[in-house]
Structure 1
Amino acid sequence: MKVGGGWRRFLFLLPVMILLPYLLSVLELHNFSTTVDQPKKHSKKSDHLVLGEAAGQGLRNRLQCQGTKSLNKTRHNASDRLNSGENVAFVTVFTVYNSSTDRHAEKKNLDLVTIGNSSYTKLERSMAILDSFIKFIQVTMPLSNVIILTDPESDLQIDKERVTAYPIQGEYSRDKLMLQRIRSYIAFLTGKLEEHRKQEGQGQINHYIFTDSDVAVVDDLGQIFDEYSSFHLALTFRNNKDQPLNSGFIAVRGTAEGLQKYSAFLFSTPPEKKLRYNKSFLAKGKDFLEEVLKVYTTRYMKASRMLGDQLALAWVVRSQPSFDSRRFSKPVAFMEKINGASVLFLPCAVYNWTPPEGAGQFHGMPLDVKVVHFKGSRKRLMLEAWNFFNSSPNIDDMLCLILASGRTKYDF
């Protein structure tokens, strides 16, 4: 009886066992179809700043904030800016990729980002960032010129005082832009040397600061050339093993004495001796960048879209046998001789500080910060910072806004 009962139960369950794989397949197909047919839900990014506790509270020599109100003062002094920047020019690379796109159609078809009372398409965002870059310089170093190295074919039109577009032929595609940036810097310096040669050394000598266009200069940088009087080129460093140098800030000294000697040398030296001594009078900064370009193109072309220039910079510096990389661990300026050039290393914490989740995240913002770099998706914050400063022109309070801003809301 027990055996017969077991067989009856088996015969009863047999149809279910046969149909079960089919039923599971149908269920899986239904689930897959549901996943494909229904669009994934993306978390909506905030359209306003999210403020949190400002990093570095209670730490010595750090900006102390209560909300967006500064509780202590930085070294920024508006009265010192009246004559600042007289012999310093800022140089950046910028190009327009879709200048032929109808902007009204773009606004209709693409998602817009709204900041304050303005809405921006992708192209308009880039132009707004460039505009803020220029405005910050005009506030902190009003006598400085801004030079924009650009593709001759780009439709770049900027009507601002002391701002000049400087076309340089090259390859400005997104994949090669970082490589082209170094080439443009070299071409620019070569052109300036030629100008001084034609003027027989009598033209005005400028120092040049090459920066990304997503930086805000919040203090006078002319003091670099006064305080450190013997460097040819300055780089910014951080305590990062793989990428200790950031290419978003490079200063090159315009050496009047050297250029004047070079000019006199051209007109007084016999031709057979010019070839031998010519190189010693050329700008050391340009020579250094040419060495970086050489390393870039031979070692790091796979990183030509991003980081290749920073990797090349680090390789050139570290290849110097006497160089001690441990010096990058402390945010203190120092000088080194690299391939015949006197290179000044400046700490990113002061000259290339990045908002939260970058350099200084856990240690706050140094009181003597001079350059804020809005890398990557922090660019919205740059526009927010300018709007805040424009409505309440207090640099210290603006720096508190930057320091307390939440990382999760950045959207471009």
Structure 2
Amino acid sequence: MPQSNVIILTDPVSDLSLHQTGVTVLPIRGEYSRDKLMHQRIRSYITFLEIKLEKLSQVQGHITHFIFTDSDIAVIDDLGQIFEHYQDFHLALTFRNNKDQPVNSGFIAVRGTHDGILRAKFFLEKVSEVYSSRYMKASRMLGDQLALFWVVKSDASFDAKRFSKAQAFTNEIGGASVLFLPCATYNWTPSEGAGQFHGMPLDVKVVHFKGSRKRLMLEAWNYYSSSTDISDMLCLILKSGRTKYYF
């Protein structure tokens, strides 16, 4: 996505001295201890949207959409088509056919209109509230996803059976129009374990290198950077094998 900019949300203490076109660092004060990190991420998203909402009220004109992702994600196709193809959503989440954690928090898209940013902020504030009241003692890597799903399923109009089919759909949740996109395309994860990874489906737009798969991310990037005849990152063949990854 050559026309996009990258903004790294981080704590004020970390020294991220980057000198790269289109990349900026935005320090946000908060609680970044390991047991509160996932909750802080949601709070940082809210702070970011508040900043953008204030700027939007001062300057009218060009609309900029936003996509929040984990740092272990690779975007391998233009995601701008999401906002063009689906016209009526405020924020987008990705889902999978998983009974306890169907909504993954690694990818959240927000339409850059005043209404889109405002309603996405209200939605995430509800998630943060649920996280604080219900899931602070959950595993440090799961609390935000459990809170997200709680907010979604608590809406009387929502039918969780829709998660069983990998098809995009829209649902009104707490006053926000939420677009649900299948993880199979917008948050795809390689299989884990020796000999299981042989490439990826051709329609994948976002790859999520979760857990021990993070070792594949650097390997894929190094291979991509060292090759001159690869036009994109589709179907890179990576080494098999499994190593334990410590968070």
- The reply to whether TM is greater than 0.5 is yes
- Alignment partner for residue 182 of structure 2, among 347, 353, 376? 347
Aligned counterpart, 2:18: 158
Q: Is the 8 A contact 1:230 1:342 kept in 2?
A: yes
Is 2:117 the counterpart of 1:293? no
Q: Is the 8 A contact 1:285 1:341 kept in 2?
A: yes
User: Could you tell me how far apart the structure 1 residues matched to 2:171 and 2:233 are?
Assistant: 36
Is 2:43 the counterpart of 1:196? no
Q: Aligned in 2, Cα 1:185/1:215: closer, same or farther, shift over 3 Å? A: same
Identity of aligned residues (%): 68
User: Could you tell me how far apart the structure 1 residues matched to 2:165 and 2:199 are?
Assistant: 16
Q: Aligned in 2, Cα 1:397/1:207: closer, same or farther, shift over 3 Å? A: closer
Q: Is the 8 A contact 2:74 2:208 kept in 1?
A: yes
Aligned counterpart, 1:142: 2
Is 2:233 the counterpart of 1:401? no
User: Could you tell me how far apart the structure 2 residues matched to 1:226 and 1:192 are?
Assistant: 21
- Alignment partner for residue 173 of structure 1, among 33, 36, 40? 33
Structure (1/2) with the larger helix percentage? 1
Q: Where does structure 2 lack aligned partners over 5 or more consecutive residues?
A: none
Q: Aligned in 2, Cα 1:321/1:362: closer, same or farther, shift over 3 Å? A: farther
What does the per-residue CA deviation read over 1:115-141, in whole Å, with 9 as the maximum and x for residues that have no partner? xxxxxxxxxxxxxxxxxxxxxxxxxx1
Q: Where does structure 1 lack aligned partners over 5 or more consecutive residues?
A: 1-140, 260-281
User: Could you tell me how far apart the structure 2 residues matched to 1:160 and 1:177 are?
Assistant: 26
Q: Aligned in 2, Cα 1:397/1:190: closer, same or farther, shift over 3 Å? A: closer
Deviation, 1:327, is 0.8
Q: Aligned in 2, Cα 1:216/1:206: closer, same or farther, shift over 3 Å? A: same
Q: Is the 8 A contact 1:356 1:407 kept in 2?
A: no
Aligned counterpart, 1:97: none
Aligned counterpart, 1:307: 142
For residues 4-403 of structure 1, the aligned pairs below 5 Å read 141-199=1-59, 202-255=60-113, 258=115, 283-303=118-138, 305-357=140-192, 365-392=200-227, 393-394=229-230, 399-402=235-238
Letter in 1 for 2:186: Y
| SS of aligned partner of 1:399 | coil
Deviation, 1:149, is 1.0
What does the per-residue CA deviation read over 1:342-401, in whole Å, with 9 as the maximum and x for residues that have no partner? 00000000000001139xx79973221000000111111101001111222426675241
What does the per-residue CA deviation read over 1:185-241, in whole Å, with 9 as the maximum and x for residues that have no partner? 000100111112223xx2532100000011110100000000001100000000100
Q: Is the 8 A contact 2:202 2:235 kept in 1?
A: no
Q: Is the 8 A contact 2:8 2:25 kept in 1?
A: yes
User: Could you tell me how far apart the structure 1 residues matched to 2:233 and 2:144 are?
Assistant: 34
Letter in 1 for 2:72: D
User: Could you tell me how far apart the structure 2 residues matched to 1:397 and 1:154 are?
Assistant: 30
Letter in 2 for 1:154: S
User: Could you tell me how far apart the structure 2 residues matched to 1:170 and 1:369 are?
Assistant: 34
User: Could you tell me how far apart the structure 2 residues matched to 1:383 and 1:341 are?
Assistant: 37
Regions of 4+ moved over 6 Å: 361-364
User: Could you tell me how far apart the structure 2 residues matched to 1:230 and 1:312 are?
Assistant: 24
Q: Is the 8 A contact 2:192 2:213 kept in 1?
A: no
User: Could you tell me how far apart the structure 2 residues matched to 1:284 and 1:154 are?
Assistant: 30
By relative contact order (CA 8 Å, sep 6+), the higher-ranking structure is 1
What does the per-residue CA deviation read over 1:2-41, in whole Å, with 9 as the maximum and x for residues that have no partner? xxxxxxxxxxxxxxxxxxxxxxxxxxxxxxxxxxxxxxxx
Q: Aligned in 2, Cα 1:391/1:253: closer, same or farther, shift over 3 Å? A: same
For the aligned residue pairs, the C-alpha RMSD in angstroms reads 2.2
Q: Is the 8 A contact 1:233 1:251 kept in 2?
A: yes
| SS of aligned partner of 2:25 | strand
Deviation, 1:408, is 2.1
Letter in 1 for 2:75: V
User: Could you tell me how far apart the structure 1 residues matched to 2:225 and 2:91 are?
Assistant: 33
User: Could you tell me how far apart the structure 1 residues matched to 2:28 and 2:233 are?
Assistant: 39
What does the per-residue CA deviation read over 1:238-272, in whole Å, with 9 as the maximum and x for residues that have no partner? 0100000100000000116x48xxxxxxxxxxxxx
User: Could you tell me how far apart the structure 2 residues matched to 1:156 and 1:337 are?
Assistant: 39
Aligned length: 243
